[in-house]
Amino acid sequence: EVQLVESGGGLVQPGGSLKLSCAASGFTFSGSAIHWVRQASGKGLEWVGRIRDKPNNYATAYAASVRGRFTISRDDSKNTAYLQMNSLNTDDTAVYFCSRWVTDTPTPLDYWGQGTLVTVSS
Amino acid sequence: DIVMTQTPLSLSVTPGQPASISCKSSQSLLDSYGRTYLYWYLQKPGQSPQLLIYEVSNRFSGVPDRFSGSGSGTDFTLKISRVEAEDVGVYYCMQSMQLPPITFGQGTRLEIK
């Protein structure tokens, strides 16, 4: 069974940092890109960024709203992806989801984690 | 960035009746190889989004055939032939023609009358 489990969310002060994890199981993690998508309370979905697989040089891409502050990485030996978030502000308060896109398939974001809540507040 | 615009933003449907959601993109989602990068997702209350339709009209595994997608270029439609109670939630269209960024529509909330 494909599973993605996010962790690491919590309360952080403005200007602070937080690192989220996305633990995967039930599929070949090394053959998938991992995307992060966030959702503020009562709002829509906002794509945050993605990291591709090794054959695609672990290429990363980010939304303009987080570029330069957020960094996505992965450890294929642990089947885990990470979202390092720095210089957080109140606009970053949201539930953060990770999702997969299996390389060379036409079905993006076909499985999602349950999400982890990040609250940026003083 | 490609802007995705959904209409309506909410709809209330009697069980057994059809429903339709429109999604328009600010640029064509058709590439030079003939593929169109338009997808539909449903986020049920309290759940993560789930993929319904990929590349305009292909149902994802396990998606009931009452769901169908159509359209081309910049205009797309998701139709539910006979709405059921379990279809309640927020529907999003999404594009990956131009990445980054992937962009989503604002969402359409479906409720049952």
Are the CB atoms for A88 and A18 separated by under 8 Å? yes
Are the CB atoms for A46 and A94 separated by under 8 Å? yes
pLDDT at B99: 85
The model's confidence at residue A15, banded by pLDDT at 50, 70 and 90, is very high
* Both structure tokens of B103: 């962009």
Within 63-122 of A, beta carbons closer than 8 Å to B belong to 63-64, 97, 106-110, 112-115
pLDDT tens digits, B18-66 = 999 999 999 999 999 999 999 999 999 999 999 999 999 999 999 999 9
Residue A93, SS3?
A: coil
Residue A19 half-sphere exposure toward CB, CA atoms < 13 A: 9
Cα B86 to its chain centre, rounded Å, is 16
Separation between Cα atoms, residue A11 and residue A122, nearest integer Å: 9
User: Do residue A107 and residue B99 have CB atoms under 8 angstroms apart?
Assistant: no
Separation between Cα atoms, residue B64 and residue B68, nearest integer Å: 9
User: Do residue A45 and residue B43 have CB atoms under 8 angstroms apart?
Assistant: yes
Tokens 């989220």 belong to which residue? A20
Number of Cβ within a 10 Å radius of residue A28: 12
Residue A31, SS3?
A: helix
Tokens 């998606």 belong to which residue? B63
Question: Is B44 in the A-facing interface, judged by CB distances under 8 Å?
Answer: no
- B70: region left, alpha or beta (phi > 0 left; psi from -120 to 50 alpha): beta
pLDDT tens digits, B53-107 = 999 999 999 999 999 999 999 999 999 999 999 999 999 999 999 889 999 999 9
Residue A36 half-sphere exposure toward CB, CA atoms < 13 A: 33
